[in-house]
Amino acid sequence: MSTKSLSVPMPEGLERLSRRLSNRHITPYYYLLPTVIPLLLLTVYPLLRGIYLAFTQYNLYNKDTTLVGTLNFIELTTNDTLFWGALANNIIWTVGIVVITYVLGLFTSIALNENIPLRGLFRGLALIPWVCPAVVAALTWRWIFDPHFGMLNYALMEIGLIDRQIGWLGDKNTALAATMIVAIWKLLPFSVVMLLAGLQTVPEELYEAGAIDGAGVLGRFRYITVPLLNRVGKIAILLTTIWAFNHFDSVYVLTGGGPGDTTMLLSIMSYLNAFRFFKIGYASAVGVIMLILLLLPITLYTRQVLEDVE
Amino acid sequence: MNETRLSRRNFLQMAGLSAAGVALAACAAPVAPQEGAGDMEGGAEPQTVQFYTLVWQPGAVEAAQAAIDGWNAEHGSRITAEYIQGGWGQARDYLTTSIAGGVTPDIVHGITAWANEYGTQGGYLDLTELINNSGLVETTHPKALDAAVSPLDGKIFSVPWCWEVGTMYVNADRFHEAGFELPLDGWTWDDFIPAAKELTSPPEYYGLAANLTATQTTEDIIAWMWQTGAEVMGGSGQNWEIDVQPAREALQLWHDMLWVDEILSQESFGGSNTLEAFGLGIYTMRQTGCWARRIVMEAEPEFEWHMVPLPHYKRHANSSEPQTWSVATDSTGRGTVDAAWEVVLWLSNDENSSAIAYGDWLFPTSVKAMEDPRFTTTEHSWDVALREVEHGVGYPKHPAWAEFDDRLLGPNIQKYLQNEMTLDELIDLLEVEGTKILQEYQV
């Protein structure tokens, strides 16, 4: 026996409420509630609250939400000895990661798009960094970078590139680059997947036509692959930019922002102010500045996604 | 009764509204139980006290769990203690967010510096009266008790129950081969430097390794700064100041050890594994606390090492921070303060504090318990460490210390040691910016 409705007795009040709520124009919005309410509570509210707190001197203990105007922002940009250095680190870090991740991702995806032996296996292996938890990855890399027991020093000494151990994470000249390597390793699979998906949408006939017209490998890459990857490439770059700029976990685990302030990023600065010094208002101001700086890539990304939908 | 069909659309509407209601209810602030609600009345349920501990060495974990099991076996029908395992690496995040969220466990393990910081901000209860009425004042080592007293207002936010000392681990074979006596009874900077120069041969091996990573730099260098007579941050009440000028000699010494004499390995900056490398003979000496003996022994069982005091200068000082039990202010709302205090006293008694401290390769703070032969034996250098207890110095107990240390002192000492600034610039920066931080907290 099949039935399309449940036979349940309804109290009169509930029935009246049900009829009132059954308006065809209103009904669809109810179906959105289970999604919209968590979104409002877990994303929109914390965002607005964070922005509000940036204009207060809210402390985890005093919970004083008196507005102090732009005091936190003035203090950050004029008196804080860490802020400009951290911002510069963030820019170097983000640009470096985005460029290297994109270039490596492009070549890796092209290789994985070719009909090579064990292609499926290599495609699977390429995803491993993505599925590896960030902190686990950072701890593993810390061992790799270890001056005495690390694989990196061992390998470089074996092939004669260095003649003494280097403390990659402790040396001011190498620490930022070392932490960037870990972030690139972690973000690379995303670029590979995106670009590989883009490559698979390029019709084979275009390459055949290009070859007939006399285009070599580089010519086909320049005039067919690159333009047709433009859209998916832009999304990959924008998302990588956002993630790199916001990055926190691996740097915090690897160096904690040191040595000195060499790897101090805005995210770590915000964290320290919030959870070490309890200055939530001040930490929120750092977060708001990060948000403002990210608005451009976020806007571009949203526009690109909407264009794609249309 | 009127029977109405509940259509699929009605059902989905109700489900949507219910889900929304549940979500809202889940986000509502929990209602704190009334004070005393958990008290046992006429066979009611026993109160539960949460015990958050940071012990981590296997022997200490075992001893702490045994202490809790012992409590529950004797008093579980009245007060049940619940063991919560924490970790030193995550403790600050956990405590800060727990206190802010009003869900701090009743009994919290930590160190006196944290206890004063959280206590001053209202996260921990003032235990002064309870301690004064408990007999702990008479049984606890005065230095440990002093470390627990807030110099701002004289309040005590924690019960010190164990402590460690900062020491130097030395490669005994290499000392003997070079004709140096092991300085078991102490040595000075003037003794240390020539020995370290003699016992360094870079890049094969270095005289000394320390932990100069972002979070540890201060811990390893501050004792040397204290030895010059500098307080670094000193004062009482509302009158505090940054005092780093006298520490120039210590900072210069460390800089020279790195760049002039090449005694100190540059790998100290990034080395979380220099302790293991010490066991392999890559460093002749490794500065760290007495807690590390188990690791050195287990890493290289055949390795001949010894623990000796830190070299001293104008003052004999090592970094020694008592570990503590505190009672969270949140316990007041749960009505578990008295129960938590009873469990604190149980954990702090001679038997339990000795067992847990011994398992962590540390000392109890009870004067009587320190006389236990386990802590006075020459085996594993316990006797050397015990003598150093008298010279232990703790971090300044000012709420500004955490920010001064994390933001200024540690990172800028690293910069100086990596030649990013001069000593004069370092001292100026610490004084000017440090004073600003102090003023901010004093306001």
Reading the block at residue A242, the tokens are: 């956002």
> Domain spans of chain A?
71-309
| Superfamily designation of domain B166-319+400-442 | Periplasmic binding protein-like II (3.40.190.10)
Q: Which residues of A touch B96 (CB under 8 A)?
A: 60, 275-276, 278
Residue with tokens 């006596």: B181
Q: Which residues of A touch B99 (CB under 8 A)?
A: 60-61
Residue with tokens 């994390």: B406
pLDDT digits (tens, 9 = 90+) for A95-108: 999 999 999 999 99
Reading the block at residue A208, the tokens are: 């055949």
Pick the CATH number of A71-309 from 2.60.40.3140, 3.40.50.1820, 1.10.3720.10, 3.30.1490.20: 1.10.3720.10
Is pLDDT above 90 for B249?
yes
Q: Are B49 and B106 in contact (CB under 8 A)?
A: yes
Q: What is the mean pLDDT of chain A?
A: 88
Contact A171 B412 (CB under 8 A): no
Q: How far apart are the C-alpha atoms of B399 and A123, rounded to whole Å?
A: 53
Q: Answer whether B411 touches A (CB < 8 Å).
A: yes
**Which candidate from A5, A12, A170 shows the least CB-CB separation from B8?**
A5
Is pLDDT above 60 for B34?
no
Q: Are B399 and B116 in contact (CB under 8 A)?
A: yes
Q: What is the mean pLDDT of residues B240-256?
A: 95
pLDDT digits (tens, 9 = 90+) for B119-140: 988 899 999 999 999 999 999 9
Contact B213 A259 (CB under 8 A): yes
Residue A100 or residue A214, greater confidence: A100
pLDDT digits (tens, 9 = 90+) for A2-21: 445 555 667 777 777 777 66
Which amino acid, residue A285? A
For residue A35, the distance in angstroms to the closest alpha carbon of chain B comes to: 9
Q: Which of B91, B230, B222, B235 is nearest to B150 (CA)?
A: B235
pLDDT digits (tens, 9 = 90+) for A231-243: 899 889 999 999 9
Q: Which pLDDT band, with edges at 50, 70 and 90, does B14 fall under?
A: very low
Reading the block at residue A203, the tokens are: 């019709």
Q: What is the mean pLDDT of residues B388-413?
A: 91
Contact A41 B27 (CB under 8 A): yes
Is pLDDT above 50 for A120?
yes
CB burial of B86-116 (b: ≥16 within 10 Å; e: otherwise) equals beeeebbebbbebbbeeebbbbbbbbbbbbb
Reading the block at residue B233, the tokens are: 């941050």
What proportion of chain B, given as a percentage, has pLDDT over 90? 69
- H or E segment and range at residue B159: strand B159-163
- B252 by DSSP, 3-state: which? helix
For residue A51, the distance in angstroms to the closest alpha carbon of chain B comes to: 19
| Superfamily designation of domain B47-163+321-393 | Periplasmic binding protein-like II (3.40.190.10)
> Domain spans of chain B?
47-163+321-393, 166-319+400-442
The torsion angles phi and psi of B128, rounded to 5 degrees, stand at -50, -50
Is pLDDT above 80 for B208?
yes
Shared fold status for B47-163+321-393 and B166-319+400-442: yes
Residue A90 or residue B21, greater confidence: A90
pLDDT digits (tens, 9 = 90+) for B276-285: 888 889 899 9
Q: Which pLDDT band, with edges at 50, 70 and 90, does A207 fall under?
A: confident
pLDDT digits (tens, 9 = 90+) for A43-87: 999 999 999 999 999 887 677 788 999 999 999 999 898 999 999
Q: How far apart are the C-alpha atoms of A153 and B359, rounded to whole Å?
A: 36
Q: What is the mean pLDDT of residues A272-284?
A: 91
For residue A138, the distance in angstroms to the closest alpha carbon of chain B comes to: 13
Q: Which residues of B touch A62 (CB under 8 A)?
A: 121
Q: Which of A8, A16, A17 is nearest to B17 (CA)?
A: A17
Between the alpha carbon of residue B123 and those of residues B95, B114, B119, B322, B329, the distances in Å are: 9, 11, 5, 19, 5
Contact A259 B3 (CB under 8 A): no
Beta-strand pair A6-7/B5-6:
antiparallel
Q: Which of B217, B344, B227, B349 is nearest to B271 (CA)?
A: B217
Contact A146 B123 (CB under 8 A): no
What letter does residue B199 receive in the DSSP assignment?
Answer: T
Contact B4 A21 (CB under 8 A): no
Contact A255 B280 (CB under 8 A): no
Residue B28's pLDDT is 40
Q: Are B219 and B268 in contact (CB under 8 A)?
A: no
Q: Is B235 left (phi over 0), alpha (psi -120 to 50) or beta?
A: left
Q: How far apart are the C-alpha atoms of B66 and B81, rounded to whole Å?
A: 12
pLDDT digits (tens, 9 = 90+) for A129-146: 988 999 999 999 999 999
pLDDT digits (tens, 9 = 90+) for B351-379: 999 999 999 999 999 999 999 999 999 99
Residue B148 or residue A62, greater confidence: B148
Residues facing B109 on adjacent strands: B325
Q: Which residues of B touch A164 (CB under 8 A)?
A: 203
What letter does residue A135 receive in the DSSP assignment?
Answer: H
Residue with tokens 């001056």: A147
For residue B310, the distance in angstroms to the closest alpha carbon of chain A comes to: 24
Q: Which pLDDT band, with edges at 50, 70 and 90, does B74 fall under?
A: very high
Q: Answer whether B83 touches A (CB < 8 Å).
A: no
Give the highest mean pLDDT range of A114-123, A177-186, B204-213, B290-299. Answer: A177-186
Q: What is the mean pLDDT of chain B?
A: 87
Q: Are B221 and B287 in contact (CB under 8 A)?
A: no
Q: Who contacts A176 (Cβ-Cβ below 8 Å, separation ≥6)?
A: A89, A92, A93, A262, A263
- Substitution target in A165, A249, A253, A286 with the highest count of B β-carbons within 10 Å is A165
Q: What is the mean pLDDT of residues A241-270?
A: 92
- H or E segment and range at residue B393: strand B392-393
Residue B393's pLDDT is 92
